[in-house]
Structure 1
Amino acid sequence: MFTILDMAQPDRLEEAYEILLKRRNNTILGGCAFLKMSKKQIRTGIDLSKLKLDYIREDNGFVAIGAMTTLRELETNPLLRESFNSILSQAVSNIIGVQFRNGVTIGASVYSRYGFSDLLTALLVLDTEVELYHQGRMPLGEFLKRPCQKDILVQLRIKKSQRIAAFISFRKSASDFAVLNVAVSKLDDQWTIAVGARPGRAMIAERASRTLNKENLRAQDIEEAANIAADELSFGTNARGTADYRKALCRVLVKRGIREVILCKSN
């Protein structure tokens, strides 16, 4: 169980950032769902609930999602259910349970870069940007590659487009973390494939995605892309599955994801 020695509820982002930097073990608090499983000692816990960062709205061609928005709000929001084939709603709908999703925030989920995250995999195949208080705005993929440093994730921004997307995950039980998850999207003739819970952090299968960038895909093209994705990404072993099992599962889920996107387009 973690301990907090002091609490702060700043009224401004500037104040929150100043408190965060004052001591090494000062920490931004989200839903604290996974923090509860740690033994971390926090000098000052910083609660962002006064900063009005719980929103999902359209903003100049983007869908803006505030950092304090919960997974449950992401799941049920009408705007997101009507966008990108409802991929974000699908991606979070099987995470633990409704009570859990009512507490976990988007900011904490993305900023922590969890390897088991279903949400990161889905976000990677959309045109997603993260907006940080200090470092500013950048593509999600760039953020995930950067070394961790203290900052505050303010919001996500997803470019609105006609992108078609699909999310698939494989779980041993409905409430368990995924053994592997896959997201696939297509905009015009450009495809993107992302694989997460490897059990490492979600990554885009760059070579596999480029293989699909053509018109009139054939069955062998889909098969080739699935094989390339399984070969170019690395997989590990944990209690949920071996590396070899995940690699074989990757081929199956990537093919299903591609076919689902094709089917969506034909409809």
Structure 2
Amino acid sequence: MNLVKAELFKIRSTSTWWILGLITLGLWALTLLINWAGSSINAGSDPAEQGLTADQAEQVRVANEAVNVASNLYTSGQFFGVLMVMLLGAIIVTNEFFHQTATTTFLVTPRRESVVIAKLIASTLLGLGFWLVTTLLNLIFVPFILNALDVGPQFGEPAIWRAMGLNGLAYALWAILGVGAGVLIRSQIGATIALSTIYVIGYFGATTLFFLLTPRIGEWFGKLQVLVPPLASQLMISGTELPGNPPRWVGAVVLIGYAVAAGGLGTWLMKRRDIA
């Protein structure tokens, strides 16, 4: 517990956490507005008239159901939020090398796995903090948006609360992924640029690829998109099961697998690498 407190203090003693926090709030507001606009446009459109295949039109129709519209709005901010949390997790590790405190840290605590576990726990707590703030903001503002869309706040739907809970799990898992990535990429600037690029390009690239190729290859190919981490976390927060997509729990299992692999690999590498 003392190690976790020490890791949290290291973060609080720098400006990194609140800078990323402010960026997250700005991107959350932008995402909420985009989701609102998208829901308003989709509410007045007929999927059958959009030139989509029958399967794609059915996916759009289900996504436009009130419970799914509400789930999407109540989890607004996840796309950029988990990116910020991942970067924060990486910075928790790379800060040690950037400020050349790694040697001191491991002299004070020779068992390196204890240090890495403390960083994982601290990163997870920070990730859950980011999730809690954005979720509270969504709970405040989204009911007004849903009333404007004439669907009501949907608080009686268990799927809404399940989506928000799984959203919290996604934030925690991406924080762990960030710590693992920070061990692999020791450079603070390098980790920030590489992770941001891979995350954003990977998401939009994979989305475009699966959208174009699934009608030609087959529905089975479209289900493989759950193997892409950003798409797996998006699947987790859907209100109901979407046609042509794997169940939500598959997305959770995939993301947990990535987090366990990243955390385990990070611990193993930290124990064996020379610290300079």
TM-score bin (small chain): under 0.3
Look at both structures and tell me which one has the larger radius of gyration over its CA atoms. 2
Query: TM-score of the superposition, structure 2-length normalised?
Result: 0.24
TM score, norm. by length of structure 1: 0.25
Higher relative contact order (CA 8 A, sep 6+): 2
